[in-house]
Amino acid sequence: MADDLIARIRLIRSPSIGPVTYRQLIARFGSAQSALDAIPDLARRGGGKPPRLFTSNEAEREAARVEKLGARFLTLGQGLYPSLLAELDDAPPLLIAKGDLRLLDRPSVAMVGARNASAAACRFARTLAHNLGKEGLVVASGLARGVDSAAHDGALESGTIGVIAGGIDVFYPPENEARQKAMFERGLVLAEMPPGTEPRARHFPYRNRIIAGLTLGTIVVEAAPRSGSLITARLAGEAGREVMAVPGSPLDPRAQGCNQLIRDGATLVQNAADVVEAVQPSRTRVASPRFDYEPPAEQFDGEAVVTVESLLGASPVPVDEIIRLSGAASGAVQMALLELDLAGRIDRHAGNKVSLRPS
């Protein structure tokens, strides 16, 4: 079991392996170790050289550091890993968790919004989070300034989960150190990146998908057009979760993002009762993590890599379309894509799309 964890850490921390590839490798080879063993051959068949793999020593060091921090790993498809989150195609293979893991067993909603939200919006978010707690809902957010912090504060007594973009031991923004530490004690903090990781701009959308995927629905409180909160809302919608928004006057520029969300179909919410009503239908849903081991049914098709590569270009195309155009079996195409991926010759994109990597 410890060996399996080390193998899983090695697999996901290897530079060329993202969550989608990880999931496909486990599905194809049954275990992280078998996948690691197979990777050099796969990459060669994909026309590249074997990628550098995260070493056992490096993985052991990360595991020891997590333990020393009083945190623990949650691994996709196993044990305490949140079942709703496991539904995402790009669910994080590993999460590092510190705090009260029982919060993962309770129904939750996300609340996100502007970092520079108005005082009124922050007060509203705090009260709403408090009232959602009284309704038995855990409130998840991103431990950012503004609305996120207010949401955590309001739900600290009843149950709150913070998902951070950096490592579990990194406090960002710095003024949230006390808040994050309070949540280690009385809430729960989740991180996808290894300890010590300073959050960078590209990490925030990854963090947002976890907030959206973990919860029954996402509430946006105040959001500028084209803000990260709207990305979280979009990801929630794409994952089939409720998208909720708190409206505001058209005279208030900070209300424009939420008002537009409502125009686009989000549920207008004004209070906890509205949120409860919106998420009620899915509150008892049984999550169905699609994470079973699929023993390879077809023989590997040596031609498939060539065929698939010829169908790819610089613009991302859906994998389903590649399968249809190739005329090959789905499993063979997926395998070819895996090989090309490990050979560093394709890029994966949101919505299960792939493109040829510029050489």
191 to 74, 151, 169: CA distances (angstroms): 10, 18, 9
| Nearest CA-CA partner of 60 in 11, 125, 104, 2 | 2
Residue 186: how many other CB atoms lie within 10 Å? 14
Site string for its own copies, 44-83 (x = CB under 8 A): ----------------------------------------
Cβ closer to its own copies: 224 or 346?
224
Candidate list 268, 311, 350, 356; residue touching its own copies; CB under 8 A = 268
| Minimum distance from residue 270 beta carbon to its own copies (Å) | 4
| Minimum distance from residue 251 beta carbon to its own copies (Å) | 6
| Minimum distance from residue 282 beta carbon to its own copies (Å) | 18
Is residue 135 part of the contact set for its own copies (CB under 8 A)?
no
| Nearest CA-CA partner of 2 in 51, 66, 47, 48 | 66
Tell me, what amino acid is at 36? L
| Minimum distance from residue 98 beta carbon to its own copies (Å) | 34
Cβ closer to its own copies: 256 or 330?
256
Cβ closer to its own copies: 114 or 246?
246
Q: What angle do CA 344, 346, 350 make, to 5 degrees?
A: 125
Residue 141: how many other CB atoms lie within 10 Å? 30
Candidate list 3, 4, 57, 120; residue touching its own copies; CB under 8 A = 120
| Nearest CA-CA partner of 151 in 232, 225, 267 | 232
Site string for its own copies, 169-208 (x = CB under 8 A): ----------------------------------------
Listed in sequence order, the residues at least 6 apart from 78 whose beta carbon sits closer than 8 Å to its beta carbon are none
Antiparallel, parallel or unpaired: β 188-191 and 94-99: antiparallel
Could you say which residues in the range 226-255 bind its own copies, by CB under 8 A? Answer: 246-252, 255
DSSP, residue by residue, 211-268:
HHHHSSEEEE-S--TT-HHHHHHHHHHHTT-EEEE----TT-GGGHHHHHHHHTTPEE
Candidate list 52, 226, 263, 286; residue touching its own copies; CB under 8 A = 263
Could you say which residues in the range 273-292 bind its own copies, by CB under 8 A? Answer: 274
Cα–Cα dist 238/243, whole Å: 10
Cβ closer to its own copies: 130 or 348?
130
- Residues making contact with its own copies (CB under 8 A): 120, 124, 246-252, 255-256, 259, 262-263, 267-268, 270-271, 274
